[in-house]
Structure 1
Amino acid sequence: MSIALKGIKVLDLSRVLAGPWATMTLGDLGADVLKVEQPGSGDDTRTWMPPSVEGISTYYLGANRNKKSVAIDIAKREGRELIIELAKRCDILVENFRPASLKKFKLTYEDLKEINPRLIFCSISGYGRGHELEDRPGYDFIIQAESGFMSITGAAEGEPMRLGVAFVDLISGMNAVQAILAALFMRERTGVGQWIDISLTDSAMFMLANVASGHLNTQREAQRYGNAHPSIVPYQLFDCADGRIALAVGNDEQFRRFCKVIGNDALAADARFATNRGRTELRDQLLPIIADCLHHRTLQELITELRLAGVPAGELRTVSQAFSSAVSALRETVVSVPSEKLGTFRSVRNPLRMSESPFSAPTVPPDVGENTRDVLMAELDLSSERIDQLQSIGAIACWPISGGK
């Protein structure tokens, strides 16, 4: 069996989350990821704490395993020349610079495809490229607000809310991976690379999914329903005697089985609630009845009975409870590797499971410039003396010194 992207080289010029999330996934799939960082400071997320462990931001740790850190000052001519030389030898480049900066540094796709026609060049930005908003910076929170997502998230009478993680960044990173893999497949047929334009706004609007379809085809304004569903009832949290249960009763047959489990067959026979449309239109009448049937039931007993009846149900868990759950253990969700600094580095296993392409054990996210010397020697055949010279003028930073002095 072979690791899927073994032999593929990625030049990662991105920072924060969307780009690093994409390149981490490529690294998980076996690609050799060279993360270019500013000497000294590195990726912005290195300072995003708390939380931290041994002085290292866990935010940074969460998006940068399976990479090598190469500290190069892109503002210096010698630094840019190194990046261009690396781009000549790489299959994929991922960046989230403003277009004006790329043009200034002569690192646009048009510049680099001249020296590497096979290069797949992926740009990630807030609003896309090629129009008057291309230089506007994009932030997940702002895009969640602008895309309409916050308007449909939160309690019906409460404040619009963002999702608890920067999901627009994460989805954009996932979209970038899909496009990159498709471009690699296309390159096998054509022999040439291409430019990929991923925008956070596009990703967010696409993820509106059924909400977008509902608005576009009816012109109705979408509403907030808290944990409830606009088109399915009951589909939300309910209180039990010793916890909270999540119910997702997706069709009429499931509703009949649900009513039997909760000891209220008459509810299933009530013509008002026999269909999902009726249950949705009359949710204000139905939900109090269901709540009254459930509040005295013990959580685990009720979940067991519902699952035996084929009714989707689960308990409301904290993050710690989720990672200590049976399903997490069965799926071996948490992966751990030894780390000199951390003792043990723990992260979430990549969800892509393939029978013929296993993943290797993850490597610990690197320190700033940890791999500069080794990468420049291996990839560009630079001598130790030349590397020392570049470091002396501030074009690069090497730490720790390894493999050459």
Structure 2
Amino acid sequence: MKALDGVRILDFTHVQSGPTCTQLLAWFGADVIKVERPGVGDATRKQLVDVPGADSLYFTMLNHNKRSITLNTKTKEGKEVLERLVKSCDVLVENFAPGALDRMGFGWERIQELNPRMIMASVKGFGPGKYEDCKVYENVAQCAGGSASTTGFLDGPPVVTGAQIGDSGTGLHLALGIVAALFQREKSGRGQKVLAPMQDGVLNLCRVKLRDQQRLAAGPLKEYSQYGEGIPFGEATPRAGNDSGGGQPGRILKCKGWESDPNAYTYFITQAAAWEKVCDVIGEPEWKTKPGYATPPERLDKLNEIFERIEQWTMTKTKFEVMDICNPLDIPVGPILSMKEIMEDEGLQATGTIVKVDHPERGAYYTVGCPIKMSDSPVEVERSPLLGEHTEEILRDVLGYTEEELQAVAGSGAIGDLPRAAE
């Protein structure tokens, strides 16, 4: 048995934020029915295509373990199918533009009429307020949620992160909200609305920067490099380059081979508890007791010098040699791993974090598996569905359509052409 066996999700999501959420629920055992437009489907099926005639990796890597039904909800027959789906499902998840479900005739009030136990979960760009009707995409969310203004170097422009904290991050937040709502429904018997604004999700992931914003009122942020360099602080949390956000000085440093390898770097933290071991490793044992170096406060105005010296040492070692030497000494370091290195990592493949999946159109590809491991709810990553692949199956087995009813709805154009099942 899997954690969410018996839970049925009506998936009206597309692109990344919503599909991230519903894929996670599918991995936990929910039956996720993805509703797509006949002949078109999720826009990402044909975005960033690398194999002609096949669904893109953009789509396949966000829609594992789901079933696909094609449905034209603008037709009378399509609306009837959707009503039956709403009555048969536990959760409706959507990331349409604001007001789209209402225009379809399936706003919250109508959903409650059809199924009072339904949980309606939504991703929106902003929560209620002056921006609630605005469309938001990944980088917009990072900018509005405080990530961009606090990312990058002090003398450069704001920078967005490669991690999709706006889309995928919000999808993860929404999944937690859905599971909590399902738990509450066991006690209350009622469904409810669950909202995860992207701005809110990004801000939640940037909470340490909001922490620092308030600390500014008490004086400069001493763990930021600019303090030791004598650069004044402004009114807002500044960009801090690669400084550690936890108060321990840290930098990204060059390693052996950096001239030709853009990822030959390591992250190195001069944690106070490991300072004496750092001094020994880099060949500066006198720094352990030398005035101006012995204690963390004394070192704040010398961090550039200290990390330059550490980098002289790391440049003589590969990033993995740095890790092999420092970790046994409890000196916190970490190699800058490229996506190629991560994809080929045998350990990550063994734990199911990196998974190889076969697909009938594109062949085998690598994807990210479930990031959460549960001892009693194992995850088997199954390929993403072809467009409308399960339409007939869902109409028959979930909604109870007879052969005559199925042919009638197919003839109406509400579900498009019934596809041949993939082999």
TM-score, length basis structure 2 = 0.87
C-alpha distance in 2, partners of 1:154/1:385? 62
Match of 1:186 in 2: 184
Residue 92 and residue 258 in structure 1: after superposition, are their counterparts in 2 closer, same or farther (change >3 A)? same
Query: Does the CA contact (< 8 Å) of 1:391 and 1:398 recur in 2?
Result: yes
Match of 1:385 in 2: 404
Alpha-carbon displacement from aligned partner over 1:131-152 (angstroms, at most 9, x marks no partner): 4433221111112122231122
Q: Secondary structure at the match of 2:292?
A: helix
Alpha-carbon displacement from aligned partner over 1:193-220 (angstroms, at most 9, x marks no partner): 1110110011111111211111134354
C-alpha distance in 1, partners of 2:307/2:421? 65
Query: Does the CA contact (< 8 Å) of 1:233 and 1:280 recur in 2?
Result: no
C-alpha distance in 2, partners of 1:268/1:111? 70
Alpha-carbon displacement from aligned partner over 1:230-284 (angstroms, at most 9, x marks no partner): 5645412111233534234263112222222222122233443444444445423
Gaps of 5+ in 2: 218-234, 259-263
Q: 1:158 aligns with which of 156, 159, 163?
A: 156
Q: Secondary structure at the match of 2:195?
A: strand
Range 139-148 or range 88-97, more displaced: 139-148
Q: 2:255 aligns with which of 223, 240, 254?
A: 240
Query: Does the CA contact (< 8 Å) of 1:98 and 1:134 recur in 2?
Result: no
What amino acid maps onto 2:238 in structure 1?
Q
RMSD across aligned positions (CA): 2.3
TM-fit CA distance, 1:400: 1.7
Q: Secondary structure at the match of 1:112?
A: helix
C-alpha distance in 1, partners of 2:296/2:74? 60
C-alpha distance in 2, partners of 1:124/1:223? 29
Whether 1:340 aligns to 2:360 is: yes
C-alpha distance in 2, partners of 1:369/1:259? 62
Residue 186 and residue 230 in structure 1: after superposition, are their counterparts in 2 closer, same or farther (change >3 A)? closer
Residue 89 and residue 299 in structure 1: after superposition, are their counterparts in 2 closer, same or farther (change >3 A)? closer
Moved over 6 A (4+): none
C-alpha distance in 1, partners of 2:132/2:315? 53
Match of 2:381 in 1: 362
Q: Percent identity?
A: 28
Match of 2:13 in 1: 14
What amino acid maps onto 1:4 in structure 2?
A
TM-fit CA distance, 1:345: 4.6
Match of 1:268 in 2: 288
C-alpha distance in 1, partners of 2:70/2:297? 59
Q: Secondary structure at the match of 1:198?
A: strand
Q: Secondary structure at the match of 1:88?
A: helix
Q: Secondary structure at the match of 2:122?
A: strand
C-alpha distance in 1, partners of 2:249/2:154? 16
Alpha-carbon displacement from aligned partner over 1:328-386 (angstroms, at most 9, x marks no partner): 24424222344332333532220111112212x22211121111111011111112333
Whether 1:309 aligns to 2:329 is: yes
Whether 1:43 aligns to 2:42 is: yes
Q: Secondary structure at the match of 2:114?
A: coil
Q: 1:142 aligns with which of 128, 132, 140?
A: 140
For these two proteins, the number of residue pairs brought into alignment is: 400
Query: Does the CA contact (< 8 Å) of 2:26 and 2:65 recur in 1?
Result: yes
Residue 278 and residue 183 in structure 1: after superposition, are their counterparts in 2 closer, same or farther (change >3 A)? farther
TM-fit CA distance, 1:223: 2.0
Match of 1:320 in 2: 340
Range 369-378 or range 327-336, more displaced: 327-336
Matches within 5 A, 1:100-179: 100-128=99-127, 130-179=128-177
